[in-house]
């Protein structure tokens, strides 16, 4: 299933400020953009620029100080199972096996057992953990835990998948392997994805579109539609050109969208 013109998430003049002892600290300012159905959108920018704060606002875990966020046309006011979050450090249930971690969402929704079991096995197979159904998180590597987290998020059947630097704590080789795995999973099981990263290669490898954010108070510096064929090569000439262009733009002093 390809992208449609349907807007799944809409941000309208969104701002976020936090109170401090010396007054308000403005993190996000006047952000407006749409996320289309089945789009893989990457929020990219320097560290501590408010990317995670924005993702939590999309999830309903943080509220807007200004503007509004809409999901399927409805204001986002609180968390909802239709918006699943995959965190940087995967919060798996340590007392549950891989099977029960992946199946947590559908079991809570009281999905009929035969269908539930079928879906659990399908997503375990999809993330490459066949044979580890009875294993516990303590027995898994960091990359395997993130695979469980992705399978659990998909198995919950969300409308939108929100991913907060899920590979940021992995070593370089495992991180690249997980990028490949996620790209393959997304191609097989399309979802609307918003993915946060401050790694330019990761952004270019995964994204249909990259929103480049400025330093705080964070605004949109630029948007890039990435039309490179999939799967992508990190040494492709156009990949390298885009990496250079976006990195230079991120480091430029001009904070306004051109």
Task: Map out the domains of the chain as residue ranges.
Answer: 1-82+188-258
C-alpha 186: how far from its chain's center? 11
Q: What is the pLDDT of residues 230-248, one digit of tens each?
A: 999 999 999 999 999 999 9
Q: Where are the beta strands (DSSP E) in the chain?
A: 7-20, 23-36, 40-44, 66-71, 74-75, 83-86, 160-164, 192-197, 209-213, 220-225
Q: Is 137 helix (H, G, I), strand (E, B) or coil?
A: helix
Quick check: 190 pLDDT over 60?
Answer: yes
Q: Percentage of the chain surpassing pLDDT 90?
A: 69
% of the chain surpassing 70 pLDDT: 96
1-82+188-258, what's its fold?
Answer: Rossmann fold (3.40.50)
- pLDDT beyond 70 at 2: no
Q: Over 80: is that where the pLDDT of 3 sits?
A: no
Q: Return the pLDDT at 168.
A: 85
pLDDT digits (tens, 9 = 90+) for 83-93: 999 988 777 89
For residue 81, the SS3 value is coil
Helix axes 113-126, 142-155, angle to 10 degrees: 140
Residues 6+ apart with CB under 8 A from 169: 88, 89, 142
CB 196 within 8 A of CB 164: yes
Angle formed by the axes of helices 172-188 and 142-155, to 10°?
Answer: 20
- Evaluate if residue 47 carries a pLDDT over 50: yes
- Report d(CA 150, CA 174) in Å as an integer: 15
Mean pLDDT of 59-67: 95
CB 40, CB 185: distance < 8 Å:
no
Calculate the alpha carbon distances from 209 to 3, 128, 194 in Å: 12, 27, 10
Q: Is the pLDDT of residue 159 over 90?
A: yes
Per-residue pLDDT at 1: 45
- DSSP one-letter code for 49: S
The answer to whether the CB of 206 falls within 8 A of the CB of 42 is yes
Share the mean pLDDT of the chain. Answer: 91
Q: For residue 236, is it left (φ>0), alpha (ψ between -120 and 50) or beta? A: beta
pLDDT tens profile 10-39? 999 999 999 888 888 999 999 999 999 999
């Amino acid at each position: 299933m390809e992208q449609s013109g349907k807007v799944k998430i809409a941000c309208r003049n969104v701002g976020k400020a936090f109170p401090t002892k010396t007054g308000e600290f403005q993190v996000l300012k006047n952000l407006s953009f749409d996320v289309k159905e089945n789009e893989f959108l990457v929020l990219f920018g320097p560290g501590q620029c408010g990317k995670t704060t924005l993702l939590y606002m999309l999830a309903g875990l943080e509220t807007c100080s200004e503007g509004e966020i809409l999901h399927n046309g409805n204001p986002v006011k609180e968390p909802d199972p239709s918006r699943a979050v995959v965190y940087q450090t995967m919060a798996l249930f340590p007392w549950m096996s891989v099977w029960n971690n992946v199946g947590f969402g559908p079991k809570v929704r009281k999905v009929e057992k035969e269908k539930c079991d079928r879906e659990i096995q399908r997503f375990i197979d999809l993330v490459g953990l066949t044979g580890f159904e009875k294993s516990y998180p303590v027995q898994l590597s960091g990359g395997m835990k993130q695979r469980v987290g992705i399978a659990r998020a998909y198995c919950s059947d969300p409308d939108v998948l929100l991913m907060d630097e899920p590979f940021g704590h992995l070593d370089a080789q495992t991180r690249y392997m997980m990028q490949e795995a996620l790209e393959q999973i997304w191609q097989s099981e399309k979802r609307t994805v918003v993915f946060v990263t401050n790694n330019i290669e990761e952004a270019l490898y995964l994204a249909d579109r990259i929103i480049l954010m400025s330093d705080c108070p964070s605004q949109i510096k630029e948007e890039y539609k990435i039309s490179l064929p999939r799967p992508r090569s990190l040494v492709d000439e156009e990949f390298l050109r885009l990496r250079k262009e976006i990195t230079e733009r991120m480091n430029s002093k001009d904070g306004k969208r051109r």
